[in-house]
Structure 1
Amino acid sequence: MSHIQRFPSAAKAASTNPLKMSQPLGAALAYLGIDRCLPLFHGSQGCTAFGLVLLVRHFREAIPLQTTAMDQVSTILGGYENLEQALRTIVERNSPAMIGVATTGVTETKGEDMGGQFTLFRQRNPDMADTALVFANTPDFTGGFEDGFGAAVTAIVDRLVEPSPTMVKTQINVLAGCHLSPGDVEELRDLIESFGLSPIFLPDLSLSMCGRQPSDFTATSLGGVTVDQIRSMGASVATLVIGEHMRIAGNALELKTDVPGHFFSRLTGLEASDKLIRLLAELSGQPVPAKIRRQRDSLVDAMLDGHFFFSRKRIAVALEPDLLYAVTSFLADMGAEVVAAVSPTQTLVLEKLKAATVMVGDHSDVETLARDADLIISNSHGRQGAARLGVPLHRMGLPMFDRLGAGLTVHVGYRGTRNLLFAVGNLFLSAEMDHDHHPAAHHGDHKTDGHKTEGHACGGGSCGCSAG
């Protein structure tokens, strides 16, 4: 691998194709993993509308999301009246089990005292004590998607989790980071339950964002971990903390309940999956089930079959930091070279990345760094740059609005790692077969037959390029 160059950020005045998503959006996704919860943005209507559209396009589900509708007057004079009115209206009309409040740039710039507003609301509205309230500070002018998600989970732990004098020997907590899809969470549930353990996921997107059709309309989230389950997390024997952005929440949970935490930087890859399975066997006192052993054997065989197509391939990856770490580590395990790893925000996990260039930037930086790459891995916003370069794009992360089933993809554990290996490996195999069919073609040129269509150098005609 070439010499590693690390840059704190891209030196330019503006972002032309952003990779970064805001903290409030991350907090909203965390709240959506709570059963009968209604996320509330403390800010203007525009802040809520843009986030709502992005989540709807990715999950293709109805997303409950409300706003305090701050205007220029309330922004200057203070937004408590808007917040109280919104909370009272939501409780009276929808009776949610929990309301999760996330601040925005409007309220954070003003300097709203969210802790004080929470206390004042409880004092002035004792009749609403049955509704759980969680407030999280999530300014959208700093940090990013993972930071907001982690802040919301930490706020839930601080506000709702209760210490327990007793312990349930089969119960474990799982703090599932935002880089895990609902499909990933469901896969982890299956693995954990295979050992006779009962997991409590916080948040649990596998139950709320899995595509169920309600019999009647509901203005709150449908499914997810319940408020009562969150309160009972203090009785668990262990907590699995998945992702660097969940570390603060994991520490808060351990400090509050004395439940020991076990940190996982990633769950994609053979070694990472082995670490998880060993811990589950240790916690349960049970041998590894035969079906999981078969899954491991299948992954090892797939790695043997596929490593020929990964070897010396040059790949550019642009994802949220923890997903970026998981993917780049897996690619390095398979013998590929990550020529560029682009993150939307600066975090500690970037120091561990195995890549020739690590940068905090956007999709335009990916386009610059991936000119000689064989593959780009990013979300759907990377499709235009990949098309201009004539480089195939493998879609991962959020948002993924131009493919079906985005929320149900699985990339964790033995089966998820095998899925990722086949998906990426088949792109390489397809490119090699196409090259054999058109020996004059080059992945960065695509002028074999001189055909061209708008938005893509070759238009996907007879050359079969999968870019875009």
Structure 2
Amino acid sequence: MASVIESKKACAVNPLKMSQPLGATLAFLGLDACMPVMHGSQGCTSFGLVLLVRHFKEAIPLQTTAMNEVTSILGGYDNLEAALINIRSRAAPKVIAICSTGLTETKGDDVEGYLVTARKRKPELADTEIIYVSTPDYVGGFEDGYQHAISAIVRTLVKPLPVNPQQVTLLPGSYLSPADIDELREIIEAFGLSVIVLPDISGSLDGHIPPDWRGTTLGGTTLEQIRTAGASAYTLGVGEQTREGAQTLLDIAGTPFEIFERLTGLEVNDRLLQKLAQISGQAVPAKYRRQRSQLLDAMLDSHFYTGGIKVAIAAEPDLLLAVGSVLVDMGAELHCCVSTTKSAAHALLPAQQVILGDLEDLELGAADCDLLITHSHGRQAAQRLNKPLLRIGFPVFDRIGNAHRRMVGYRGTMDLVFEVANLMLDHVEHHHPGDWPLSPEALQAAASVATLETV
């Protein structure tokens, strides 16, 4: 169990944290025919839009209520109403999803009251679902905004329905890529189950060329699918950040749930397959037994390059737990861990402490480490320290293919293990040729991997 230390610096240097509104926007981008809206200034929206476009290399639909100095003081009702009417007339979305910003939260705009008034004044909004979530960017972080958005979607659109025993709802964490979601969907459907993914960025941000352009999201969880989630027999959440949404589903529709703290690694995927077998009444398909065996072999092959290394990692809490735990399974030591916000996930991290800080804290703690892991803003620190950098999380803007990168399931875990091992091997070959002794930690890791039980 890691102890959590909050940085007391007067300011953030090379910030690690992304804001709540940005996390909520990502969740809304996983809904089909949706238009996300930031209730704030144009600058708030523009900054978030740039990060999303650079990470996914896609056109991102995102609007703003364009608050200015006067409306920030007098209140933003007129701006909000005008934005709703303009968006409906120009893009005709099925869902308009609004998240607040620090500007309007500080002013204290009663957005829920504004929406009631707008619907009364503008009956043409009756055919458009409107979701609102409070996401002040001066507290919390990316994960917090994402989890609050999921809860807002469920509260607004889900109603209890007769239970379909062959349907489950999957709540993916914000760090899962479109390829990760596709992998989990394939695993669940292999047991004869149908799955509602909420939200589903694998349909909207998976890097495809759309057949048309509507100005809204193209793909994702449809309005009908969201409503159908009230009939699911079970909810599966990936990451502690999905607990709030799963609890909301339980409160509204009575759907039992289980939260998997991560699905990167061996034991956690064993538990997932056992749970799916229990829900469906079917045996684990043979192909997953084969994939498990392949992962074991990959871990044996790779541990020579990961055993005994010291790692410095900075990421959102659930991603920190997912990647950090696998590295510990491979014999690495989490020497420096930096995160963004408080989370129950920190208690599960196999490290001595977690610093709630920035990338300066990572750089200071990484001097004696062999590997740095964080998003693309950590590349300068890696260059200064002459250390290899594994890019994870959001944003990764200096690499191509983020939507297709996979690190969940047996196959995704194997991809991650190979990526780390090859990164270390490449660094040693270029900077310390012939200098890679097999450490006692690596031998111990090999022994532990070799004795792991089968499913």
**TM tier relative to shorter chain:** over 0.9
Alignment of 1:6-17 (within 5 A): 6-17=3-14
Residue 102 of structure 1 corresponds to: 99
Counterpart Cα distance in 2 of 1:5 and 1:203? 30
1:291-330 superposed matches below 5 A: 291-330=287-326
157 and 309 in structure 1: CA distance in 2 versus 1, 3 angstrom threshold? same
1:237 aligns with 2:233: yes
Cα distance 1:361–1:173, how it changes in 2: closer, same or farther (>3 A)?
same
TM-score by structure 2 length? Answer: 0.93
Q: Aligned partners of 1:302, 1:167: CA distance in 2, in Å? A: 41
Counterpart for residue 340 of structure 1: 336
What letter matches 1:265 in structure 2? Answer: E
CA-to-aligned-CA distance 1:307-332 (integer Å, 9 cap, x gap): 22221110011011110011111111
Match of 1:141 in 2: 138
* Corresponding position of 2:403: 407
Return the offset for 1:47. 0.3
CA distance in 1, matches of 2:237, 2:118: 32
- Mapped pair 1:170 → 2:166: yes
Which residue, 81, 86, 98 being the options, matches 2:78? Answer: 81
Secondary structure at the aligned position of 1:402 is classed as coil
1:286 to 271, 282, 285: 282
Provide the rounded CA distance (Å) in 2 between the counterparts of 1:27 and 1:356: 31
Structural RMSD (CA): 1.5
What amino acid does structure 2 have at the position aligned with 1:195? Answer: F
Alignment counterpart, residue 113 of structure 2, candidates 111, 116, 123: 116
SS of 2:217's partner is coil
Q: 1:437: how far off?
A: 3.0
Distance 2:225 2:432 in 1: 57
1:163-187 CA distance string (max 9 Å, x none) = 01x2222211011110111111011
Aligned length: 436
**1:189 corresponds to which residue?**
185
1:271 and 2:279 aligned: no
2:87 equivalent in structure 1: 90
What code does the residue aligned with 2:36 have?
A: P
Task: Please tell me the residue identity of whatever aligns with 2:331.
Answer: G
2:68 pairs, out of 66, 71, 77, with 71
CA distance in 2, matches of 1:303, 1:237: 35
Find the partner of 2:128 among 127, 131, 152.
131
Amino acid at match of 2:241: H
Alpha-carbon contact 1:8-1:346 (below 8 Å) kept: no
Unmatched tracts of structure 1, length 5 or more: 441-468
Determine if contact 2:5/2:353 at 8 Å carries over to the other structure: no
TM-score w.r.t. length of structure 1: 0.91
**1:136 partner letter:** V
Give the letter for the 2:117 counterpart. L
User: 1:44, 1:68 within 8 Å by CA — same for their partners in 2?
Assistant: yes
Structure 2 residue aligned with 1:416: 412
Matches of 2:373 and 2:431 in 1, distance apart? 21
Deviations 1:35-82 (A, max 9, x none): 000000000000000000000000000000000000111111110111
How far the C-alpha of 1:7 sits from its partner, in A, is 4.7
Query: Deviation digits for residues 349-385 of structure 1, max 9, x if unmatched?
Result: 2222222331001111110000010000110000000
For residues 46 and 222 of structure 1, the distance between their equivalents in structure 2, rounded to whole angstroms, comes to 25
- What are the ranges of 5 or more consecutive residues in structure 2 without an aligned counterpart? 437-455
Tell me the distance in 1 between the aligned counterparts of 2:125 and 2:38.
Answer: 19
Q: SS of the residue aligned with 1:232? A: helix
Q: Distance in 2 between matches of 1:216 and 1:276?
A: 37
Q: Comparing both structures, which one devotes a greater share of its residues to helix? A: 2
Which letter does structure 1 place at the counterpart of 2:120?
A: Q
Distance 2:267 2:160 in 1: 34
| Cα distance in 1 between the residues matched to 2:189 and 2:34 | 26
Whole-angstrom distance in 2 between the partners of 1:59 and 1:431: 27
- Is contact 1:315–1:336 with CA below 8 Å preserved after alignment? yes
- Aligned partner of 2:451 in structure 1 is none
The question of whether the paired residues in 2 share the 8 Å contact of 1:176 and 1:243 is answered with yes
2:28 maps to 31
Counterpart amino acid of residue 59 in structure 1? F
Distance 1:115 1:436 in 2: 60
The superposition leaves residues 278-337 of structure 1 with CA deviations (integer Å, 9 ceiling, x where unpaired) of: 111111111111111111110011112222222111001101111001111111111110
